[in-house]
Structure 1
Amino acid sequence: MKLTALLALCLSLVLSAFAQDRNRIAGTILNNSTGQPVPNASVFINGTSKGTVSRSDGGFELTGINKGSFELVVSSVGFQTLVLQLSSDTLPIAIELRLQPRMQELESVTVMPWERGSWKKYGRTFIEGFIGTSAAAQDCEIRNKKALRFRYASKAKVLEVMADEPLIIENKALGYRITYQLEGFTRNWKLRTVVFTGYSFFEELQGNPQKQQEWKEKRKQVYKGSLMHFIRSLYNDRLSQDSFEVRRLRKVPNVEKLRIQKLNEMEKQHKIVQGGRISFPTQGKVQKDSLNYFQQILKQDDSLALIGKYLLNADSLITTGIDSTKTIFFQDYLQVVYRKAQEEKEYLYDYRIFRPAGFQKSLIRLTPALPIVIQRSGLFFPPQNVFTIDYWGWSEKVSHMLPWDYQPDRL
């Protein structure tokens, strides 16, 4: 009996080692210009806590890679970031990677110059759009702010930000040290949008058992209702069980606002002035000659939302391919309500919403309107094609960012 148990244990260890070896990437990083090894280059799987640094001979090794598609990121100061799209189906592999010196890229830049030392002028705007304004954001710090450079186009009202080296961000609210390779940040005041792209690597901060437990609870709190939670729930067909309500939403022009604006223009041109105020035509039995009504309509959005009556399930959004790949596609918008957590008070303050906190309500849109691939981890490709509005538009920032290999305890 003991011999059988021992054989079973040995077999288990062999199989485990075999699986580790199969999910393995080994390689060498070289300078493309000189052919020399690049030591101390960061090699990591984007958005996870799995990574390493190249040795003095440029060699590296990553093991225990999870199933699915992923981005392998290689970055080093003075070189352009290299990103490879890989799949666990192709593992194990041994590869030679060549990094292009960044100087060649900088010499080709002849457009409006970047500003250094502009943190006082643009730092707060960048922090609010990148780190966020949540309660967790108050405990986040960028350790190398001097690496940031800014460029503002006053006519277009667009702020762009880049970094000379990976940003080192300490999130003491969630217990992570994040190395973020910022590829681009744009704040457009005319379009009222913030877009940033980059590659992230997570390391856990050190803390006593009490602090570790505190971080564990805060991570779970941030995870609940997040975009990651929603994609995982959608993938596993658990929307209802996980308290997500999903409906289709279509935006249509606000015809009444357009009518009021037209009347306003007519007044400015002195075409319908009666005693110094606008006289509105009647609609039905309601006399719309109130200045208050006029002002209220002009405060409305340019479009109105038509929300679907019926809840959607995963089957109505997901298509499964022959190779078991899952994709989602929808027209217009999806409205996603998470009914197990309420909005943060900071969200209400930032959006000037004067009411008690309600359930977290977000909009999601595909731009362009093309299918995206989703994975069990919550990862989706391409990430830049997913545009979030309302609660997720506010919350999905670096201060709430979790690694794709994060797994909460039972919710």
Structure 2
Amino acid sequence: MLFRWFAFLFIMLPAVLLGQNLTINGKIVNKESSRGVAGASVFLSNSSFGTTSSSDGTFTLSRLRPGQYTLVVTAIGYAVYNKIIMVNADVADLTITMEPRAIMLREVTISGSSRANWNRNYEMFKKDFIGNDENAKQCVVINPKVLDFTYRKSKQTLIASADEFLIVENKALGYRVKFLLNSFSLDNLEQRLTYQGSRLFEELPGSAAQKKKWLLKRDRAYYGSAMHFLRSLYQNKLKEEGFEMRKLTRESDPSRPSAAVIQQKMQQFNGVSRDSFQYYHDFYISPRYIHQKISTVPWLSFEVLRDGPQPGLYAITFPQYLYVIYKNREETEAFKDIYRPLDMPNYEVSVLTLFNDPPYALFDSNGIVVGESPLFEGAWSKARLSELLPVDYTPSAPLN
């Protein structure tokens, strides 16, 4: 099932400029003993930059580009450490103090019904966290049992969490993704997915032929993505890169019942009253919005782009909704809530909604949102882990 609503609510704070190599080095110490912590995992969230601390707790992250990152440190027996760090020059002698934490033994469940429920919840989680596209078919979860689930039947909501890395090998794109999943919530009534966490991308080993295929698929995932759009926006290259922005106006249908009521009534009348079931099913398959219209003149970059609070950060701002067309690819899915003028070709379309007051979202030169993300509908709402790329990714080949 494809979701109309897809909010990325996790902080993604990566590098911002290309072509420079900088270094972070420091030492990880135990808060209580001041001794070095060996074997800690040190990485920059959502990037491919990661390492492990040495026997005395020291570490080095190299070949970095300037910008703002979230530095994450994890070690067995310690609380996870997170720190926002700005890298404008080499960062030397950074001291990270880790707080010891009691190791909690995981509960072992052996009942058949509990095992069946876990399997059902896992399949639901896997489809909506990893995806159900062609790439997802080549994704392998290495350690699924680190996941804990709670399913609230009355609200049709799945909650998931993990107390250690969830490791997924994406054999379509050639990455091993290590994900610290802080929170995950799947609302089937509102058709909304939100999650929060940090992740590290590692290259999978492969032959020269495999790596060539991975590069092609990575480029395919990149072009037309939200990352590609935001990079094109701040570089004022929207048209050259195949994008077009329009203003979208629309209103919620006041006659439409809530999603919960529609689901409840469909279940109530299914097999009991055909007419009543059809009445609510018509609402289910109909758009949420009425009076939809897009502007006739495209917006230019300067109309929605502003300088951010510090160098390397930008703000995007617009009234109501931003309608983004990607002309280099046709849409293969039908989104009933995405308005399409009858005379518009079947291009990929995404709709952005802002939440801050006044409405804005911050992003960096890598095209990654910093802080609260816009709400994505349409093409970008399909993106799952199966198509995600590290923040430091650059395409291997120019756009044709």
Q: Please confirm whether the aligned pair reaches a TM-score higher than 0.5, indicating the same fold.
A: yes
Larger radius of gyration: 1
Question: Out of 324, 330, 339, which is 2:318 matched to?
Answer: 330
Where does residue 398 of structure 2 map in the other structure?
410
Aligned to 1:300: 286
Contact 1:177 1:204 in 2 (8 A): yes
Q: CA deviation at 1:348?
A: 5.0
Q: Distance in 1 between matches of 2:256 and 2:118?
A: 40
- 3-state SS of 1:220 partner: helix
Q: Which segment is superposed worse, 119-128 or 76-85?
A: 76-85
Structure 1 segment 156-171 matched on structure 2, within 5 A: 156-171=155-170
Aligned to 2:64: 65
Counterpart of 2:196 in structure 1 is: 197
Q: What does residue 233 of structure 2 align with?
A: 234
- Closer, same or farther in 2 for the Cα pair 1:40/1:405, shift >3 Å? same
Match of 2:361 among 355, 369, 372: 372
Cα separation, partners in 2 of 1:257 and 1:323, compared to 1, 3 Å: closer
Structure 2 runs not aligned, ≥5 long: 1-19, 106-113, 258-274, 338-344
Q: Over residues 166-198 of structure 1, what are the superposed CA-to-partner deviations in whole Å (9 max), with x where a residue is unaligned? A: 111100001111111111110112322001121
* Residues 252 and 306, structure 1, Cα contact 8 Å, conserved in 2: no
1:210-263 Cα deviation digits (max 9, x unpaired): 1111111111111110111111111111111111111122331325768xxxxx
Question: What amino acid does structure 2 have at the position aligned with 1:363?
Answer: V
**Could you say what the CA RMSD is over the residues aligned between the two structures, in angstroms?**
3.0
Whole-angstrom CA distance in 2 between matches of 1:147 and 1:39: 23
Partner secondary structure for residue 94 of structure 1: strand
Match for residue 340 of structure 1?
328
- Give the whole-Å Cα distance in 2 for the aligned partners of 1:321 and 1:393: 25
Q: CA deviation at 1:84?
A: 1.2
The size of the alignment, in residue pairs, is: 344
Which one-letter code corresponds to 1:371 in the other structure?
A: Y
**Greater share of residues in helix:** 1
CA distance in 1, matches of 2:102, 2:229: 41
Distance in structure 2 (CA, Å) of the matches to 1:117 and 1:28: 45
Query: What are the superposed Cα offsets for residues 268-294 of structure 1, whole Å, 9 maximum, x if unpaired?
Result: xxxxxxxxx99xxxxxxxxxxxxx999
What does 1:121-132 correspond to in 2, within 5 Å?
Answer: 121-132=120-131
Per-residue deviation, 1:330: 1.9
Amino acid in the other structure paired with 1:392:
W
In 2, are the aligned partners of 1:223 and 1:229 still within 8 Å (CA)?
yes
Q: Structure 1: which 4+ aligned runs deviate by more than 3 Å?
A: 33-36, 101-106, 115-119, 255-258, 292-299, 321-325, 347-351
Q: Does 1:310 align with 2:297?
A: yes
Is the strand fraction higher in 1 or 2?
2
Measured in 2, the distance between the counterparts of 1:298 and 1:393 equals 19
Q: C-alpha distance in 2, partners of 1:401/1:167?
A: 15
| Percent pairwise identity | 29
Decide whether the 8 Å contact of 1:180 with 1:201 is kept in 2: yes
> Aligned partner of 1:58: which letter?
G
Corresponding residue of 1:397: 384
Give ranges in structure 1 of 5+ residues lacking alignment: 1-18, 107-114, 259-276, 279-291, 352-356
The answer to whether 1:86 aligns with 2:85 is yes
Distance 2:227 2:59 in 1: 30
3-state SS of paired residue (2:212): helix
Cα deviation for residue 104 of structure 1 reads 8.7
Structure 1 residues 194, 321: closer, same or farther in 2, change over 3 A?
A: closer
* 2:93 counterpart SS class: strand
Distance 1:350 1:333, change over 3 A: closer
- For residues 352-375 of structure 1, the C-alpha deviation after alignment (integer angstroms, 9 at most, x for no partner) is xxxxx9321111122334432222
Q: Where do residues 236-255 of structure 1 align in structure 2 (5 Å cutoff)?
A: 236-254=235-253
